[in-house]
Structure 1
Amino acid sequence: MTCSPRTLALLLGTAALSACSVGPQHPRVDLPLPPPAAAATLAASAGPTQRIEPGRPAPADWWTRFGSPRLDALVARALAANTDLAAAEATLRQARELRDVARGNAGPQVDAGYQAERARVSNALSSPLANVADTLYTLHTSQLSVTYPLDLFGGQRGRIRSATAAASVAAARLDAARTSVVANLALAVIEQAALQAQIDAAASAIRSNREILDLLRRRQALGEIGAADVAAQASALATAEAVLPPLQRQAQHQRALVATLTGTAPGAATLDLPTLSELRLPTELPVALPADLVAARPDVRAAAAQMEGAAADLGTAIAARLPSLTLSGNAGGSAQRFERMFATGNPFYALIGGLTAPIFHAGALRHQQRAAEAALDIAKAGYRGAALQAFVDVDDALAGLRGDATALDAATRARDAADQSLGFTRRQLQLGGVGTLALLNAAAAAAQASSARIQAEAARLADTVALFEAVGGPIPASATETRP
């Protein structure tokens, strides 16, 4: 088979045009990068020392650094059964299928058809010389049709790029959902553990107040004190008892939140939750460099993919204003008897090349392009905003951790001093050296200092979670994938 120079030139020209694409290919946005975090040691005499290590990526299974098998088990349940993750995974599957649809639409389309027709021609329409019996006939037709849209200016490729970008967005959002679910679960576990510690402290304060009330009643019976002192202590006991129900309600809410995050109905199963003392504070705090942070954060990657998709949509809108070429053809056979459809003289074929150019659409195509340009600007702004928010999240978490160590030491000193003061006051009360009011004040100060110490310890754990969430990359679908 030979090919004439003219045909060869036409084929080469068509191939060259098919390789053309209009519109921006890979948009870029200049980001103002902050300086990298400085290495630092966050020392606390009342707790572990943490070290900020710039330039190191966060581990994918960062929650295991808290050293709690119970927390690890809860995370595994959440990654396997959380409803938001199930929806995000289904969204990703849908986006990938739609991407494959776009790829399929850009290729040749082949269809087969068969038609059987039984018809009679009106005598008024038939030839006067024709036999009347010939006006009734049967016709069998089968054919194969092929259509191939040549992508002259990249419109089809733009649709594929857009669908591919949508799949990338869905994948990044799934990563972001996993990060969010694990972080929210860890925070809920920490908050519940802190509340349980406060409940235990409140219960201890109630027992202590009851013991003091019993002591004062015995002294009243001996005539050593009056009824006013007993009434004051009874009021203090009631105040201590009133602290407990709100704490229990908050703890129940956190348990329900943990159950929901792990895909379980609240109250449907007993949750094995760690105590505050079982949660170990991670001592190594890796902080990625700003450029690496932008590349790792799932929400920033989703914004970058959205920007890529908007650029592809702009190219498609531009291509819609340019000519389009479609090649099509069909071949088949037609006969009055089925077995003779492909007998000599009955086959047929057609090759068609169609060129379409938009002439007048009342400005719709122009405005569609401008809308796509605006959408690209929106995506660029969204990308910049996501990157800047990532920097803010890291900065906030580091600032919180720097203050947490100091706050923990101060809260520990205050608790120890309040406990010591309460012990002295109790002994003096037994010896008659002080009145009931001094004891009540000392007990209230000790209870408040104990609660503040618990909250300071929990805040250090929670801010560590916030830092891991801020700098963390993708979390594997299974909590066991990162372990040998």
Structure 2
Amino acid sequence: MSDMKRLSTTLLPLTLALSLAGCVNLAPKFERPAAPVAGAFPTVEGTVSSGNAVAAQAPANIAWQRFFADARLQQLITLALANNRDLRVSILNIEQARAAYQIQRAAQLPTVNGVVNENRATTGGQNNPVTTTYQAGFAVSAFELDLFGRVRNLSQAALSQFLATGEARKTAQISLIASVANTYLTFLADEELLALTQQTLKTREESLRLSQLRFENGVSSKLDLQQAVSLVEQARTTLAQAQRQRAQDLNLLTLLIGQPIPDNLPQGATLAATQLPDLPAGLPSDLLIARPDIRAAEQQLIAANANIGAARANYFPRISLTATAGTVSNELSGLFKSGSYGWTFSPQALLPIFDFGARRAGVESARAGRDIAVARYEQSIQTAFREVADALAGQATFSEQLRAQQAVAAAEADRFRLSDLRYRSGTASYLDLLDAQRSLFSAQQQAIQANLARLQNQVTLYRVLGGGWSEPGSANGNATAAR
């Protein structure tokens, strides 16, 4: 028999086994559950947004470089994407999941190993000779014929887990960008509040100086003097709080970008000059495509569905093959001589007869896992719906709240000016002036906070609509962001 015929005879059983593998798939047919939410987002009556939407393009397709125009903020986000440790862990999780999938996928094909061994044996007794056998060749060990799809479903589950990990990485990037943006906006608000407090303290110290002179000249009472002292100390208390909050927010920003904040960052805008565009909401069904966390939950559901097929396959025989092909000789020198060729083919079928309900429990566990995955998938959709609805309510109302609060601050500034004139002319009490000072400071603080809340709500809306992981120049906005 020629070498080619020998090889054909050796590979024929293995080829037949591979052709039979994967004939049946016992996994249930996957069907995406219906979205358990309304067909449209609720609207807030009596308010309208500013209409400054970005072209009507879906937020998930708007690269973050377009949404955040502040050059300083863009540089901070770039540093965070390069250095943030949480995002780095997400990237490494992808690599780990990819390796796990490759390992599981490799189980669908036989593993061929080179084999060289020596075997010595005797039948027993002192006079019986020891026989020695040398063997060299190739071996396939315990390759499972996937007749009922067990290995294939395990591979599908591993693939879905890998894809879910990739979506989780996108979710981590979206959250990181939003966190950097919100922290940066908070820092800008800290700067404005700090400047306002310093100016207020300066004004109150001047009022205290005048009150001290009036008291020393017998024009005003000690009560007026102590009220002026109290206002100054209150401003100093607020100043200390503002300085502490600014330092803490700067520390958080440093943590998010993963390194000390560089000194050469480009010039940024103030909070008052910062503008973020309004965003179109679209339909709740768009979230199934736009939100990576929902897509990750769907992949987890697909993996759980495949696990049912793998568990069901345990009811059927598990057939494995072991085969070797090579040369055999009783002498090492004759191992590769003509006529020493040989092969073995050893199929094995294993079917548990009594397992005390282990297989049934395995299927029930897989079904329960699928039901859990369905519940989590539906919960992710409902959570996304609520987050978008909340942010849309903010987009519709924060602009009006800011306008009204700025009007309050302007009115309180005019009131303080008039109270100061009346007090200096002797037609109003010092208590009226102090009340006007307190009200003005509070109104100005609330105006800054209202503007911060408006801008942060836009960042949140951008995040919950799936914006933040596409890159400029991608054809459909669904390209994975560069690492």
Normalising by structure 1, report the TM-score: 0.87
| 8 Å contact kept, 2:278–2:458 | no
- 2:113 match: 111
| 8 Å contact kept, 1:54–1:289 | no
Amino acid at match of 2:211: L
- 1:61 match: 63
Cα drift, residue 275 of structure 1: 5.3
Looking at structure 1, the residues matched to 64 and 280 of structure 2 have their Cα atoms a distance apart, in angstroms, of: 10
Could you list the runs of 5+ residues in structure 1 that have no partner in the other structure? 2-7, 127-134
Cα drift, residue 428 of structure 1: 1.9
Looking at structure 2, the residues matched to 115 and 15 of structure 1 have their Cα atoms a distance apart, in angstroms, of: 31
- 2:96 match: 94
Amino acid at match of 1:159: L
Cα drift, residue 271 of structure 1: 8.8
- 1:232 match: 227
Looking at structure 2, the residues matched to 137 and 354 of structure 1 have their Cα atoms a distance apart, in angstroms, of: 28
1:443 aligns with 2:437: yes
1:43-192 matches, cutoff 5 A: 50-51=52-53, 56-62=58-64, 64-116=66-118, 124-126=126-128, 135=129, 139-147=133-141, 148-192=143-187
Aligned equivalent of 1:313, options 271, 284, 307: 307
| 8 Å contact kept, 2:122–2:131 | yes
Looking at structure 2, the residues matched to 257 and 271 of structure 1 have their Cα atoms a distance apart, in angstroms, of: 19
Amino acid at match of 1:322: F
- SS of the aligned residue for 1:113 comes to strand
Query: How high is the sequence identity, in percent, across the aligned residues?
Result: 26
| 8 Å contact kept, 2:192–2:271 | no
Deviations 1:190-248 (A, max 9, x none): 11211221111111110000111112223334332233222221111111111111222
Looking at structure 1, the residues matched to 159 and 25 of structure 2 have their Cα atoms a distance apart, in angstroms, of: 16
Amino acid at match of 2:28: P
Looking at structure 1, the residues matched to 415 and 336 of structure 2 have their Cα atoms a distance apart, in angstroms, of: 108
Aligned equivalent of 2:407, options 398, 402, 413: 413
Looking at structure 1, the residues matched to 450 and 69 of structure 2 have their Cα atoms a distance apart, in angstroms, of: 19
Query: Which region of structure 1 is more displaced relative to structure 2, 336-345 or 161-170?
Result: 336-345
1:263 aligns with 2:267: no
CA 388–54 in structure 1, closer or farther in 2 if over 3 Å, else same: farther
Cα drift, residue 430 of structure 1: 2.1
Amino acid at match of 1:444: R
- 2:394 match: 400
Deviations 1:350-386 (A, max 9, x none): 1222222222211111101100000000000100000
RMSD (Å) for aligned C-alpha atoms: 3.1
1:458 aligns with 2:462: no
Looking at structure 2, the residues matched to 108 and 242 of structure 1 have their Cα atoms a distance apart, in angstroms, of: 74
1:359 aligns with 2:363: no
1:240-319 matches, cutoff 5 A: 240-264=235-259, 274=268, 276-277=270-271, 280-319=274-313
| 8 Å contact kept, 2:149–2:309 | yes
Amino acid at match of 1:372: A
| 8 Å contact kept, 2:53–2:277 | yes
Aligned equivalent of 1:19, options 19, 23, 38: 23
- 1:132 match: none
- SS of the aligned residue for 1:254 comes to helix
Cα drift, residue 81 of structure 1: 0.7
Query: Which region of structure 1 is more displaced relative to structure 2, 25-34 or 433-442?
Result: 25-34
- SS of the aligned residue for 1:317 comes to helix
- 1:391 match: 385
Looking at structure 2, the residues matched to 119 and 260 of structure 1 have their Cα atoms a distance apart, in angstroms, of: 67
- 2:9 match: none
Looking at structure 2, the residues matched to 100 and 91 of structure 1 have their Cα atoms a distance apart, in angstroms, of: 14
Cα drift, residue 269 of structure 1: 5.5
- SS of the aligned residue for 2:271 comes to helix
Cα drift, residue 91 of structure 1: 0.3
Looking at structure 2, the residues matched to 117 and 310 of structure 1 have their Cα atoms a distance apart, in angstroms, of: 46
| 8 Å contact kept, 1:158–1:315 | yes
CA 324–117 in structure 1, closer or farther in 2 if over 3 Å, else same: closer
| 8 Å contact kept, 1:37–1:54 | no
- SS of the aligned residue for 1:284 comes to coil
Could you list the runs of 5+ residues in structure 2 that have no partner in the other structure? 6-11
Query: Which region of structure 1 is more displaced relative to structure 2, 256-265 or 136-145?
Result: 136-145
Looking at structure 1, the residues matched to 149 and 114 of structure 2 have their Cα atoms a distance apart, in angstroms, of: 28
Looking at structure 1, the residues matched to 349 and 273 of structure 2 have their Cα atoms a distance apart, in angstroms, of: 70
CA 401–245 in structure 1, closer or farther in 2 if over 3 Å, else same: same
